[in-house]
Amino acid sequence: MFKLPKEIFSEEEFIKISDRAVHCRVIRVKDIVKLKLRTKKSLYTFKTDPGSAERLLRDVGCDIIEL
């Protein structure tokens, strides 16, 4: 059965989930950056500004894929 992505609203939760994620996809759209974490069971999304995104990407514990 197909599961819908879950949206994350907290930076702390994003960092915690990134430790068990397979990879993190980065999508830059105008003034918003979408970060998508793929775990074995789910996909998590987090929307933020470019400054916060760069700071978060330094702290993630998984591979980063720029799209």
Q: What CATH number does the domain containing 49 carry?
A: 3.30.720.90
Bridge partners of 64? 24
pLDDT tier for residue 67 given thresholds of 50, 70 and 90: confident
**By the 8 A CB rule, do 43 and 37 touch?**
yes
pLDDT digits (tens, 9 = 90+) for 37-65: 999 989 999 999 999 999 998 888 788 99
Q: What is the pLDDT of residue 63?
A: 86
Flag whether 48 is in a domain.
Answer: yes
**By the 8 A CB rule, do 50 and 28 touch?**
yes
Identify the domain containing residue 55 by its residue range. 6-66
pLDDT digits (tens, 9 = 90+) for 8-41: 999 999 999 999 999 999 999 989 999 999 999 8
Whether the full predicted model's pTM is greater than 0.75, yes or no, is yes
Strands 23-29 and 32-38: what pairing?
Answer: antiparallel
Domain count, the chain: 1
Flag whether 1 is in a domain.
Answer: no
Token output for 42: 């789910």
